[in-house]
Amino acid sequence: MPHSSCIICGQDRFGAQKSNVTCAPWRTKTAAAPCPNCIQTKTLDEHIEETRAYLRHLEAHRAALRPGANTFHDPFITHFPTELASKILSFCVEDEREFKRRTPLTLSAVSKRWRAIAHSTPSLWTTIRLRLLFDAQENQALYKEMLLHWLSCSSMELLSIYLDVEYCRRDEVSKVQFCHSVIELLNTHCHRWGKLSVDTPLHLISLLRGDFDGAPPLYYLSIGGEEYDEGEDEDEDTQTWTFDLGTSLPSPHTVSIHQRGFGKVRINWRNVTTASIWFTRLHDFLILLAAAPQLRECRIVLPDEFDETTELNPTDLITHRNLLKLDIEVYSLSYQRAELFDILRAVPTLERLGITGASIFDNFFELLAADEGDIEERRFLPSLTEFCQLRPLWADSFSWREISKAVEARADVYRAKCGLPVLNRFYWDTIFHETEGMYYIDERSLQIFERLLSNGADIKLSNNWRKRGRPDDMIVYSRAYHEGNKRRSARSDVSDLYPFDPFLT
């Protein structure tokens, strides 16, 4: 297009293709040139193609210019100093629960200036979520390169590391080597680990090591493990894995161990306040209480494979003065209910108790209802305010009279007047068939529960036998049952008095 040139670069030719003249076949054979109409059409086609090429050229210039508009239009980087802009960006990752692993990369992609600010804001890069999948070799190299970049951007800030590794066997050499190389990169920053959560095959946990003197500032530790494939030797890994950084013992406040091997975690337990532990023996919980005097909340899980009962020696029994909340989950039929007595005797400050799967020992409610004076050591769970029992295995070993008496004694407002803790929440979620004696709550116990409910106590008694999507309220259907019995009894009494009254038939 000779009369047009690019206003940006001055170019006047834009690479448009020449078009061919398509005249009538018979005319091209007899005439020396195409007809005037076809010649004009050809000229127009060339101009149109040249104009299109010119437009594409201008659009390319525009696409290159537009990203630079943020430099002049973005009030964030125009009006805010770099320090304030950096602080604002850090709010994007303030809550780790809402953290998206691509957030720092997304912020860096807005403009060159945003990228410079994001890369100079270490708090954007302190959360590292790693999901190790065994893809192509070139992807593994890019993965490690990105990890190095991420670590460098985090400067010297404390790190929150979440390491999730796809299952791999010991003999899968290439996969193990890749995991080893990634863990080695993390190990060089062990002195900055604040939060560490690992969910890996057990044989990889021992690779986590420190390379410095002193203790890492670890305040949160979570250890899990991938499921084993069928035929794998699980026992070997279960026996040999350890978590030992090789440094001075870290002192976390929160610990979660979802693998068998409580004793294989080498840490200082004295500062632990919150714990969730899989135990192989119930006795190990007493060991935890002795090792963690500051423990306030704890969840313990006894899986199917937990060890047989260990008889406790009198010297093993301790008293823990800080535990406020305890959740116990038992998934083994070999669980011995009597063991729970020693556990609960050891925690007189306990306020919230939850038990799932396991049944409590036979005289639990009898002890709960008893009040042996003002001597705290002689009273059972004196500080209890909440109790929740989910799916007990042997619920038929109790009676509603025992349960209602205990709840009534502990929920009595007179206790509050005496300055004693009051049971304000009682949940009992179980499975009873209609043929079982405890399917219906007896009238006297029902009246106690209804009175406590009217006084503001939070009481829920649920039966999951019918499985209609939600459990049945035992108080509701027991009341309907007793009212129905009363009506039937009343009709029966009237029928006895007036056996020939036609209006009663």
CA angle centred on 258, ends 429 and 219, rounded to 5°: 110
Question: In the prediction, which pLDDT does 310 show?
Answer: 52
Question: In the prediction, which pLDDT does 152 show?
Answer: 94
> pLDDT tens track of the chain, all 505 residues?
445 677 777 777 777 777 676 777 766 666 667 788 887 888 888 888 888 888 888 888 888 887 777 667 777 777 788 888 888 888 888 766 655 668 898 888 888 888 999 999 999 999 999 888 776 666 788 888 999 999 999 999 999 999 999 888 888 888 889 999 999 999 999 999 999 999 998 889 999 998 777 888 999 999 987 545 444 555 555 567 889 998 889 999 999 998 877 888 999 999 999 999 998 777 788 899 999 999 999 999 887 655 555 555 544 578 899 999 999 988 766 666 667 888 888 999 999 999 988 777 778 888 888 865 455 555 789 999 999 988 776 666 778 999 999 999 999 888 888 888 999 999 998 888 877 778 899 999 999 999 999 999 999 999 887 666 567 899 999 999 999 988 888 777 656 555 655 544 4
- The residue segments making up the domain with residue 371 are 351-505
**Contact between residue 255 and residue 236 where contact means Cβ atoms under 8 Å apart:** no
Instruction: Map tokens 């502990």 to a residue.
Output: 410
Distance between CA 254 and CA 269 in Å, rounded? 10
Q: At what angle do helices 474-497 and 443-454 cross, to 10 degrees?
A: 130
**Contact between residue 218 and residue 247 where contact means Cβ atoms under 8 Å apart:** no
The domain tally of the chain equals: 2
Instruction: Map tokens 């095959």 to a residue.
Output: 201
- The verdict on residue 31 lying in a domain is yes
- CA 185, distance to chain mean position in Å, is 26
- The verdict on residue 342 lying in a domain is no
Per-residue tokens: 228 = 């084993």
Distance between CA 451 and CA 414 in Å, rounded? 15
Tell me the pTM: 0.78
Other CB atoms within 10 Å distance of the CB of residue 233: 11
Distance between CA 400 and CA 472 in Å, rounded? 17
**Contact between residue 317 and residue 374 where contact means Cβ atoms under 8 Å apart:** no
Q: Which residues contact residue 396 at a Cβ distance below 8 angstroms, ignoring those fewer than 6 apart?
A: 432, 436, 437, 438
- The verdict on residue 475 lying in a domain is yes
**Contact between residue 433 and residue 465 where contact means Cβ atoms under 8 Å apart:** yes
- The verdict on residue 182 lying in a domain is no
- The verdict on residue 230 lying in a domain is no
Identify the domain boundary among 46, 73, 100: 73
**Contact between residue 340 and residue 358 where contact means Cβ atoms under 8 Å apart:** yes
- The verdict on residue 123 lying in a domain is no
Identify the domain boundary among 49, 73, 97: 73
- The verdict on residue 20 lying in a domain is yes
Other CB atoms within 10 Å distance of the CB of residue 32: 5
- Report phi then psi at 382, rounded to 5: -65, -20
- The verdict on residue 40 lying in a domain is yes
Distance between CA 395 and CA 460 in Å, rounded? 16
Other CB atoms within 10 Å distance of the CB of residue 171: 7
Distance between CA 150 and CA 355 in Å, rounded? 43
Cα dihedral value 230, 231, 232, 235, nearest 10: 100
Question: In the prediction, which pLDDT does 451 show?
Answer: 94
DSSP, res 281: S
10 Å CB burial of residue 490 (0-12, 13-18, 19+) is: exposed
Distance between CA 399 and CA 281 in Å, rounded? 29
**Contact between residue 375 and residue 348 where contact means Cβ atoms under 8 Å apart:** no
Identify the domain boundary among 56, 73, 90: 73
Per-residue tokens: 142 = 């890019």
- Residue 222's nearest CA partner among 269, 276, 294 is 276
Which residues are 243's β-sheet partners? 265
